[in-house]
Amino acid sequence: MKNRFDKFYYKLIISLSFVLLFLPHYGYSEILPENNDSVKVTIPQAERIFLQNNLQLLAARYNINVAKASVIQSELWDNPNITIGQNIYNKFTGKYFDFTKSGNTDLQLQQLIRLAGKRNNQVKIAEINTDIAEASFYDLLRTLKYELRTDLNDLFFLQKALAFYDDVIPSVKKTVGASEKLFEGHSILLSEVLRLKSLLLTLESERLNTVTQISGIENDLNILLADSTGKYSYFIPQLNVQSLDSLNLNNISLNEAIQTAYESRPDIKIAELNVKSEETNLALQKALAIPDITVGGSYSRNGSYIPDYIALTLSVDLPIFNRNQGNIQASENNIETDRTLLGQARLSVRKDVISAYDKAIETDKLYQNFDKKFTDEYAKLVSGMVSNYEGRNMTIIEFTDFYESYRSSVLQALQLQNNRIDAFENLNFTAGRDLLLPAGN
């Protein structure tokens, strides 16, 4: 009776082990099924939602409107100034506030006229600040768009890995349970049981880590897409894997990528606009050293040497002490600072592009050299491994070692694909424009 019992559980272990190896070959590449709180989304769909809903982008758009309002304000002329003087009490007539010809009323009207192009320079600075606000918006857009794409790419492959774990862990649990019964019947060694339990613990720990990563990315996506309704708590990215595999860097040179970054990166444009703004500010500070003129007219009914006195008035500050020397010197130094920062920005961008380009080249080379049928070839060995194990030609330790190698190859293949796509997205990010964009994604 005992031998029949052991034989039954021994065959059960073999069967479950076969399922353990055979199912992942088909199951790990399947996307997780949707549930009531999940939504399938492609990268273009996610980007459209992102552009409409992202709160950081909305706030940055308001900053552009604020800068445009400053342009309107800088274009306005100074308001004229009017002064009215009226005597309170006329001692000759005994009247208070005498507005008749016997009383006195003074009237003065003045208009400030700015010279040396001060107003035009102020308008130019405001317009440059608007350009800076717009460039800052696009720099934020570039950064958040990169974060969105990499999150969706990472989530896609993490969900594949999770599907792999969800396929194999139940089978491993059944195998562990069957091996424990065989151990109780003294048919297998304790070391074999512990080996299976160690495998199960490894799988469950890796699954938990994967779930934690998925949860973090899902939270980031909810923030990026501004899902304030809470309608969707689980996104399922839809990537065109065939299109991703077809991407290559053959038609993109390093010099082309660097030149594209110089022309497209918003942070480079911001650095250039800062120089331009300070140069305009220097012109403004030099203009401020030239005094403005106040033109006006005055009228006095009885307060001058003749009745109904009318006069033209001109007033101007004498530039004897203050000729705006300090502000001019400060602006000249600020120009040199901004030019230095522009050079630093260009150097930093160049190094970023070179680093991203080299990483993309190496990652793509590794992926292209990787045998796509590697995991399939592992699967073909399953039946032979099961036969050897059934015939006691190999131990369960050897058997689980084979499975762990297969598991490692599956997960490494997913990670390699993920790293390759992330490297391409990083190259797009550092170049400031999509140099590599798969069709359908």
- The CATH number linked to 250 is 1.20.1600.10
Give dist(CA 130, CA 124) in Å, integer.
10
**3-class SS at 1?**
coil
pLDDT at residue 140 greater than cutoff 50: yes
**3-class SS at 97?**
coil
Which tokens in the block code for residue 86?
A: 């009226």
Task: Please name the amino acid found at residue 253.
Answer: S
Which tokens in the block code for residue 412?
A: 């490494």
What confidence tens digit (pLDDT) does each residue in 342-379 have? 999 999 999 999 999 999 999 999 888 877 666 666 55
What confidence tens digit (pLDDT) does each residue in 398-441 have? 767 777 777 888 888 889 999 999 999 999 999 999 988 764 45
In a domain, 331, yes or no: yes
What pLDDT is recorded for position 372? 66
Q: Is the dihedral of CA 234, 235, 241, 246 positive or negative?
A: negative
Give the chain's mean pLDDT.
84
In a domain, 439, yes or no: no
Which tokens in the block code for residue 324?
A: 């705006």
Give dist(CA 117, CA 127) in Å, integer.
15
In a domain, 340, yes or no: yes
In a domain, 22, yes or no: no
Among the listed residues 164, 170, 161, the one whose alpha carbon sits nearest the alpha carbon of residue 27: 164
In a domain, 218, yes or no: no
Q: Is the dihedral of CA 222, 227, 232, 235 positive or negative?
A: negative
* Average pLDDT, integer, range 36-56: 87
Residue found under tokens 């790990």: 28
| pTM to 2 decimal places | 0.82
What confidence tens digit (pLDDT) does each residue in 309-350 have? 999 999 999 999 999 999 999 999 999 999 999 999 999 999
Q: Find how far residue 233's CA is from the centre of its chain.
A: 21
What pLDDT is recorded for position 206? 92
pLDDT at residue 26 greater than cutoff 80: no
In a domain, 90, yes or no: no
Ranges of beta strands (E only) in 301-430 are 309-316
CA distances from 353 to 74, 98, 167, 422 (A): 39, 81, 41, 14
Question: DSSP letter at 54?
Answer: -
**How crowded is residue 42: how many other Cβ atoms within 10 Å of its Cβ?**
15
**How crowded is residue 383: how many other Cβ atoms within 10 Å of its Cβ?**
12
Residues 6+ apart with CB under 8 A from 82: 107, 108, 109, 110
CB-based contact 84:107 (threshold 8 Å): yes
Predicted confidence band of residue 113 (pLDDT cuts 50, 70, 90): very high
Give dist(CA 237, CA 45) in Å, integer.
10
What pLDDT is recorded for position 24? 41
Residues 6+ apart with CB under 8 A from 342: 268, 271, 272, 274, 275
What pLDDT is recorded for position 178? 74
CB-based contact 335:328 (threshold 8 Å): no
Count of domains observed in the chain = 1
In a domain, 173, yes or no: no
Give dist(CA 335, CA 320) in Å, integer.
27
Residue found under tokens 């996610």: 46
Of the chain, the end-to-end C-alpha distance in Å amounts to 61
* Average pLDDT, integer, range 73-83: 94
Predicted confidence band of residue 12 (pLDDT cuts 50, 70, 90): very low
Give dist(CA 182, CA 160) in Å, integer.
34
Domain span including residue 251: 36-78+114-140+223-289+324-431
In a domain, 295, yes or no: no
Q: Please, which residues bridge with residue 105 across strands?
A: 86
pLDDT at residue 8 greater than cutoff 60: no
**How crowded is residue 7: how many other Cβ atoms within 10 Å of its Cβ?**
12
Which tokens in the block code for residue 362?
A: 């190496």
Among the listed residues 66, 5, 17, the one whose alpha carbon sits nearest the alpha carbon of residue 387: 17
